[in-house]
Structure formats: structure tokens, C-alpha cells
Amino acid sequence: MKGTALRIIPCLDLDRGRVVKGTRFRDLVDSGDPGELAARYEAGGADEIAILDITATVEGCRTSLEAIRRVRALLSIPLAVGGGIRTAEDAARLLDAGADRVSLNSAALAEPGLIDRLAARYGSQCIVLAIDALARSPGAGGWEVMAEAGRKATGREASAWAREAAGRGAGEILLTSMDRDGTGEGYDLGLLRSLVPCGLPVIASGGARKPRHFLEAAEAGARALLAAGIFHRGEVAIADIKEALRAAGQEVRIC
């Protein structure tokens, strides 16, 4: 994937149709309307929008199709959607509502064959595997994959799960460090580097606050860079991130 322009992806975490943001998946605060934020980010130079319904899996409900349709009507850039996808029919509803790609997490962990079926039906380019990873104890080493919005340990090692997903037909990995999420400490570069060899492009997520954090992740091998809170709070402009990346020699898409 070298030579492919880096993508900057604002993420909208949804809770009952509203955008929320917290720290390490906890202490959520309301951050606004998904349609208004998505339109603002496209105007500001975003390359893609990600929407993740963070309560869908936990509460046993499906992603809000109304919110997806509303956001899609306002956007011309790609839209990736995840949360509560358990079957091919769930994925079909999201794609019909306007998603360009769907993101799988807990359901794929419970039934890995779902990746195969969706890739065969829609193509690998439509299938993103979301991995929420938590650092293991120093003695154990590595990172464990967590399910159900970070509430359930799976025993799976993150890089091994990424390699399996690649073999099953996933097209990209959305990698979130639960240790860094919402902290502003920067992406977990060790975690990122451990997954880059899986053979799929990796979207780095969790912990970015400054333009240099985006550059560090790009240099570590990420092909897309996702953030949420810093954009919602207006701390950093997408154009400034792209300018910093371009000045460092990284290829970015023109705003």
C-alpha cells in the first residue's frame, strides 16, 4: 500500500443517534449532531467519515439507520459504518442506507465466518475489521482483542486476529488502542507496528491530539488516521494535519 495517499477520518461515535466521546470507552459526553458534524468535516477536508454505534452491540440494538441516511444525504465522501452488525442482512441494511463500507467487531469475533460471507457477497473493499485492543500485563506481552465495546476480553492476540481476518477476506483494519483512546497521548505505535505486517492497510485510532501524532502513526505504517474528540472540540483542523504531513514528505489528499 505504499504510495497510497493517507486518509484523515473523523469518527462519529453514536449513542442513541447523538455523537458522544469519552476516555478509554468510558465517561461519554454529548458532542453534537452527526449530520452537522459530518458536513463540517467534509468541508474541512476529511477524506472519509466513520460512524460507530458504540451502544448497539452492548444493548442488542441495530445501528440507527435514520442517522446513517441523514449523514449520507449530506456527504459526497465515503462513509464507513459499524455497530450491531451480526448478520449479512444487517450489513445489507446499512449499505442500502448509504454506507460505502461496513465495520465488523464483536460479531466477527463470535463467528469469524461472517467475514468470509460478507467478503464473498460484497467484496473485500466493503469489509473493515474493527479491532479494539488492550495491552496485556508486562509479563504476558502483546495486546488482547476486546469485544462488546471494550467490555469483554476474548483471549485473542491482536496481530493474530488481524492475520486471520486478512485470510478470510477483510479489506482493512480499524485498530483502536483502548489504552490511548481519548487520552491525547498519541497513537500506540507499538500496537500499530505489530499489526502492519498482517497484509491489510491499517487505520490508526485512539489517542491523537497533535499533528505530530498523525505523522508518527504514518511513519509507523498506518495508511489512514482516525480521530474524534480533537475534531469535535475544534482543537486541531484537518487542513493543519494534512499540511504537517505534507511538509514531512507524506502523501496526502488535497483538501
Per-residue pLDDT tens digits for 132-158? 999 998 777 899 999 987 889 999 999
1 assigned to some structural domain: no
19-38 tens-digit pLDDT: 876 565 555 666 688 999 99
| Number of domains the chain is built from | 1
* Residue 240 annotated in active site: no
pLDDT surpasses 80 at 2: no
Task: Name the active-site residue from 13, 15, 47, 188.
Answer: 13
Task: Name the active-site residue from 15, 47, 90, 132.
Answer: 132
253 assigned to some structural domain: no
Residue 141's pLDDT is: 83
117 assigned to some structural domain: yes
Q: Strand 152-157 and strand 127-135: pairing? A: unpaired
141 assigned to some structural domain: yes
pLDDT surpasses 70 at 251: yes
* Residue 179 annotated in active site: no
243 assigned to some structural domain: yes
d(CA 197, CA 174): 14
21 assigned to some structural domain: yes
2 assigned to some structural domain: no
CB atoms within 10 A of CB 190: 12
254 assigned to some structural domain: no
Q: Is the pTM of this model over 0.95?
A: no
Domain span at residue 182 reads 7-247
88-124 tens-digit pLDDT: 999 999 999 999 999 999 999 999 999 999 999 999 9
For residue 16, give the CATH number of its domain.
3.20.20.70
